[in-house]
Amino acid sequence: AVSSVEAARTAIVTGGGHETMPVWGEILTAEQLDALTTYTLEAARGTPVLAGQEIYAQQCAVCHGDFGEGGINPANPANVLSPISTASYLQTRDDATIRAIIAQGQPDLGMSPFSLSFGGSLDEEDINAVVAFIRSWEADPPVELPPEIERAPLLGTGPEIYSEFCSQCHGVTGEGGIGPSFQDPQFHVNRTDSEMFTAIDFGHPATAMIAWGEVLTDSQISSLVSFIRTLEVPAEPPAGATTTTTQPPATDASFESDVLPIFQASCESCHGGLGGWSSDSYTAVMTTGNSAPVVLPGDPDGSLLVQLLQHPGGRLMPPGRALPADQIQAVVDWIAGGAPDN
């Protein structure tokens, strides 16, 4: 058995002790010999990348394509699966995130869990191998453009587009779910039409919100923004109530001692860096990030952060596990108390 790269290369170059094996050193270039040596050793050793390639071909390619190029979602032909082999996708998702997606699935997109722990067919070693194979694309991404898809013309009006593409995440009437509620007045107060257009056009990295600008025209996105505005449900004051100025209720939750340590321990690793979010200070927590603002002082139900932490059918944050109930409650109490810098 060949035990080293040098011995393997020598055997290929000289033909080794085989009478019928050509002397490849007289035929192949140095680069070709290096590539053949590397491939032969990897094949003999059964590397995670090669094992992952085989599992991917059997379990993943039917939906994501042979090269991760994406396409029509077999679980819902009205949806498009974005590429998972682009430089952008791989740079914004670490191995832990990809591993969690494979293990737990994404039921909202029709992807079932693959981990044995969640009722799937792959053990931890298999999942790690698939992650290694997907990560191997990063050195030379096979896809840089969205898939070219032949499909029927898209429905043209805002309500039609919303029903087909948005309702499964944001609710049939905009009540929210995996995505934020469009009924919440604060959602509309905090976002201009231009900001909503951009969010739909370019999507949000590391979430189920793809860049719909690759699917919808500008006029369709504008029509969709106008329709989303109609989903707002104005808050009604209680009967007999008078308008008064009140202070947020007192809270025992401290930003510095209770909330900030949670953010730094459980949120920074995924949402920092490429996610554009920072937990360096109170101001950074409140104003940075691709989806800012996610905290609405005094309104935990309207805060995107709380919606994602508490939604029982959504993706877990952080990936692979939910925050302990007492930590979630601390965040809720802090926001309900006005999200003070205390």
- Do 51-139 and 158-229 share a fold? yes
74-78, 148-152, 253-257: which is most confident = 253-257
Identify the pLDDT of residue 99.
93
Q: What's the pLDDT tens digit per position in 37-51?
A: 777 766 665 678 888
Identify the pLDDT of residue 128.
92
Mean pLDDT (whole number) for 317-335: 76
Q: How far apart are CA 313 and CA 320, in angstroms?
A: 14
Q: How far apart are CA 73 and CA 83, in angstroms?
A: 12
- pLDDT cut 70: percent of the chain above it: 78
Question: Would you say residue 311 has pLDDT above 80?
Answer: no
Identify the pLDDT of residue 248.
47
- pLDDT cut 90: percent of the chain above it: 12
Question: Would you say residue 13 has pLDDT above 90?
Answer: no
Find the helix or strand (DSSP H, E) in which 81 lies.
Answer: strand 76-81
10-24, 134-148, 154-168, 176-190: which is most confident = 176-190
Collect all residues with Cβ–Cβ distance below 8 Å to 255 and sequence separation of at least 6.
282, 334, 339, 340, 341, 342
Identify the pLDDT of residue 51.
86
Name the more confident of 266 and 87.
Answer: 87
263-267, 281-285, 286-290: which is most confident = 281-285
Q: C-alpha distances in angstroms, 228 versus 182, 189, 198?
A: 7, 13, 14
Q: How far apart are CA 42 and CA 121, in angstroms?
A: 25
Identify the pLDDT of residue 127.
94
Mean pLDDT (whole number) for 51-73: 89
For the domain 158-229, what is the CATH code? 1.10.760.10
C-beta of residue 302 within 8 angstroms of C-beta of residue 184: yes
Q: What is the SS3 assignment for 135-202?
A: HHHHHCCCCCCCCCCCCCCCCCCHHHHHHHHHHHHHCCCCCCCCCCCCCCHHHHHCCCHHHHHHHHHH
Identify the pLDDT of residue 207.
61
Q: How far apart are CA 207 and CA 40, in angstroms?
A: 38
- Its pTM stands at 0.36
Mean pLDDT (whole number) for 271-298: 76
For the domain 51-139, what is the CATH code? 1.10.760.10
Q: Domain locations in the chain?
A: 5-45, 51-139, 158-229, 255-336
3-state secondary structure of 276: coil
